């Protein structure tokens, strides 16, 4: 009693195949019996083949869309990684610059102290001379 969906699908497909075979045999008999029917059968086959070609174009368009989408994703990921790389490089350069500024700031402070000591010594010498 319980049939799975797969069994129904396989039964439907099997039934469709039987119907297609029967239709094909009927068309063959009509072609053999009358030439007018053969023209109608040929036009139906052309319509069916044309529909299959349209389906092929749809698949081709869909595959082109997916290829374009994949290429777009690859390019965007490449750009993101490049931006991340630039951020890391810029951060390391900024660290170097800040270390240099800190070192130079210390040097400037030392020069200011030396300058103030020299000025004090000169003021003392001026005071002694006067």
For the stretch 53-78, pLDDT in tens is 455 677 888 889 999 999 999 999 99
Distance CA 72, CA 64 (A): 12
Task: Specify if 23 maps to a domain.
Answer: no
Task: Specify if 94 maps to a domain.
Answer: yes
Task: Specify if 125 maps to a domain.
Answer: yes
Structural domain of residue 110, as residue ranges? 34-129
Q: Report the pLDDT value the prediction gives residue 34, as an integer from 0 to 100.
A: 62
> Could you give the number of structural domains in the chain?
1
Q: Report the pLDDT value the prediction gives residue 6, as an integer from 0 to 100.
A: 46
In the numeric block, the tokens 């049939």 are attached to: 3
Task: Specify if 75 maps to a domain.
Answer: yes
User: Among the ranges 9-13, 115-119, 123-127, which has the highest mean pLDDT value?
Assistant: 115-119
Task: Specify if 10 maps to a domain.
Answer: no
Task: Specify if 6 maps to a domain.
Answer: no
Task: Specify if 122 maps to a domain.
Answer: yes
Task: Specify if 21 maps to a domain.
Answer: no
Question: Closest by alpha carbon to 40, among 21, 22, 23, 27?
Answer: 27
pTM of the model: 0.39
- Provide the 10 A C-beta neighbour count for residue 97: 10
């Amino acid at each position: 009693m319980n049939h799975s969906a797969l069994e129904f699908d396989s039964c439907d497909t099997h039934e469709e195949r039987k119907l297609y075979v029967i239709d094909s045999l009927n068309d063959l008999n009509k072609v053999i019996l009358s030439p007018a029917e053969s023209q109608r059968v040929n036009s139906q086959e052309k319509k069916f083949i044309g529909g299959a070609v349209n389906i092929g174009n749809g698949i081709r368009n869909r595959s082109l869309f997916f290829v374009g989408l994949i290429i777009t994703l690859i390019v965007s990921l490449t750009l993101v990684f490049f931006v991340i790389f630039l951020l890391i490089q810029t951060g390391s350069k900024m660290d170097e610059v800040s270390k240099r500024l800190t070192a130079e700031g210390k040097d400037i402070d030392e020069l200011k102290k030396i300058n103030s000591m020299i000025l004090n010594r000169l003021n003392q010498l001026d005071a002694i001379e006067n």
